Amino acid sequence: MPDDRTYATVIAFFAAGLYLALIVAAFGLVSLATDTEVVADPAMGPLVGPVMVGAATLMLLVFLIVLGTRVPADRQRVSPGVALGVGFACYLVYAASGAIAGSLADPGGPLRYVLFAFAQLGGWPAITAGIAAFVVTLLYQLVLVGRFRQRGRPRWPWERDDDD
């Protein structure tokens, strides 16, 4: 794997970690501010929330790795449209994974879990997950563009050649 692809993959993992931290912090702050729960239905169980966050984080990680490794270094751009698509995908995966996780734990009433997924789509946690994915994807693209245009590590003024 060339250096550019290795760099993009490593940065993608750090960006996914940032995304996870942003989601956890945003969920905590918004939950405190609005006095609501992230998963409002206590019958869904304690693992549905972490599964939803994990699925959205994994979706973001896959998209970032694909974005960073498939596009050549000299063609990397900051693309808000792509970032919006990634945010929308994480938004949908967040809601759908909660329904899937709930139905695997209790396969008795599938309609209940479909309704749960649709209820999540209109809730602030799913919207927050999508917005955070959008922002992190933009930052990821910005980091890649800055690195690849610079052609190497940052240099101090005394490290530069005098021929410039």
> What confidence score (pLDDT) does residue 135 get?
96
Query: pLDDT at position 74, please?
Result: 73
* pLDDT score at 72: 74
Instruction: Decide: 65 and 20 in contact? Cβ < 8 Å.
Output: no
Residue found by looking up tokens 């869904």 in the block:
44
3-class secondary structure, 76: coil
Residue 9 confidence (pLDDT): 92
pLDDT tens-digit map of 121-140? 888 888 999 999 999 999 99
What's 44's DSSP letter? G
Question: Which tokens go with 70?
Answer: 């498939």
Beta-carbon neighbour count of residue 49 at 10 Å? 17
pLDDT recorded at residue 109? 72
Give the pLDDT confidence of 22-65 residue by residue, as tens digits: 999 999 998 898 888 887 777 677 788 899 999 999 999 999 99
pLDDT at 59: 96
Angle at 40 between CA 127 and CA 113, to 5 degrees: 85
pTM of the complete model: 0.83
Tell me which of 72 and 19 has the higher pLDDT: 19
Q: How confident is the model at residue 151 (pLDDT cuts 50, 70, 90)?
A: low
Distance from C-alpha of 157 to C-alpha of 134, rounded to nearest angstrom: 35
Torsion angle, CA of 97/103/105/108, rounded to 10 degrees?
170
CA distances from 30 to 38, 46, 97, 123 (A): 9, 19, 21, 12
